Amino acid sequence: MSANQWDAEWDVTESLARRLIDSQFPDLSGEPIEAIGYGWDNIVFRIGSDTVFRFPRRKAAINLLEREWRILPQLAAHVSIPFSRPMYRGEASVDFPVSFLGYNYLHGRYPIGLNDEQRILSTTALAVFLRQLHAFPLGTALECGAPLDHRNLLDLESRRRRMLELLPSLAGHMGEEAYCALRQYLLAGGVNQAADKRVFLHGDLHFKNMLVDEDGLVSGIMDWGDMNVGHPACDLNVAYSYLPSKARQRFFDEYGVVDEETKELARLIAAYIPMLIMLQAADKKDARITAAAIETIQRALSD
């Protein structure tokens, strides 16, 4: 049994990925391969200069990739920020028990180490992107298998309670000031239950699923497996997790009308997601991602 929720159930090595890709996609045979990242659900390999493959690390990822295969091809005409589109579908075999996907490679880097002015550059782009995404037809999304609020985000009280349960695990990785600020924020409470609102969502919008160009402008959105129909605050968390406080009003002006309850939920999610990222990063002794997660929480709580 896995010790942590993010532990891999399948170990996909570079040699295994090479063998699987070569056997099913001869046109990619011989292209150089490099492991470039991993998350809770998938490990990612770059093939040549134009393609990436994502292999599930856990059973939970199987349906997420299937969802991407069905929905993402229909999304291209609706949004303005580039995203990875599935182009190859690898089937289960004796070497690997589940399917896997290949996508176009997005150039860029994680938005880590950006200053406030660089982050502000993406204010309008992010607001317009989310306005477009949240207008995607719900009927189409549901027909393609997008679930309804699968994370139960409307229950803010339970979310705060869960975050308080996680806090002691983070104590050794956060400075005292950052830790106390997060604890005080959670203990202060607020709205306990948000009103139900439904839009089509990316569902997991955070710094490890975003790319920026050399100027720091957002250039790509990745990992769409958590797409669902739910509360817009789930994605609007970027107003707090990504943008400095002085850019938020312009973001909301560009996006459209957002009530205070939605903003409160968005801020809570902006603090919650990096807590989860930090737990995995600390376990893997990834100091860079751990530091970025802490910085994200501090930015989310700033006014």
The pLDDT score that the predictor gives to residue 1 is: 40
- 104 to 15, 40, 154, 275: CA distances (angstroms): 21, 21, 34, 30
Q: Smallest Cα–Cα separation from 40: which of 208, 238, 170?
A: 208
User: Is there a single domain that holds both residue 186 and residue 296?
Assistant: yes
Beta-sheet strands, E only, within the chain: 33-38, 42-47, 51-56, 86-90, 100-104, 199-201, 210-212, 218-221, 228-230
The pLDDT score that the predictor gives to residue 150 is: 67
- Grouping H, G, I as helix, E, B as strand and the rest as coil, residue 80 is coil
Token pair in block for residue 301: 């709580």
The pLDDT score that the predictor gives to residue 58 is: 86
The pLDDT score that the predictor gives to residue 42 is: 87
Per the structure, the complete domain to which residue 22 belongs is given by 14-104
- Which positions ≥6 away from 131 have C-beta within 8 Å? 254, 255, 256
Ramachandran quadrant class, 216 (left: phi over 0; alpha: psi -120 to 50; beta: rest) = left
CATH code (residue 84): 3.30.200.20
* Residue 246 within a domain: yes
User: Is there a single domain that holds both residue 94 and residue 121?
Assistant: no
Residue 161 CA to residue 83 CA, distance in Å, equals 34
Q: Which pLDDT tens digits describe the chain residue by residue (303 residues)?
A: 446 766 778 889 999 999 999 999 999 998 999 998 877 788 999 999 999 999 998 888 888 899 999 999 999 899 999 999 999 999 999 999 999 999 999 999 999 999 999 999 999 999 999 999 999 999 999 999 999 976 777 888 999 999 999 999 999 999 999 999 999 999 998 888 889 999 999 999 999 999 999 999 999 999 898 999 999 999 999 999 999 999 999 999 999 999 999 999 999 999 999 999 999 899 889 999 999 999 999 999 999
The pLDDT score that the predictor gives to residue 38 is: 79
User: Is there a single domain that holds both residue 274 and residue 125?
Assistant: yes
Ramachandran quadrant class, 223 (left: phi over 0; alpha: psi -120 to 50; beta: rest) = left
- Grouping H, G, I as helix, E, B as strand and the rest as coil, residue 150 is coil
Domain count, the chain: 2
* Residue 8 within a domain: no
The pLDDT score that the predictor gives to residue 154 is: 82
The pLDDT score that the predictor gives to residue 266 is: 96
> Hunting for tokens 């069905």 — which residue is that?
70
The pLDDT score that the predictor gives to residue 5 is: 66
Residue 215 phi, psi dihedral angles, 5° rounding = -90, -5
- Cβ pair 140, 252 in contact under 8 A: no
> Hunting for tokens 């406080």 — which residue is that?
245
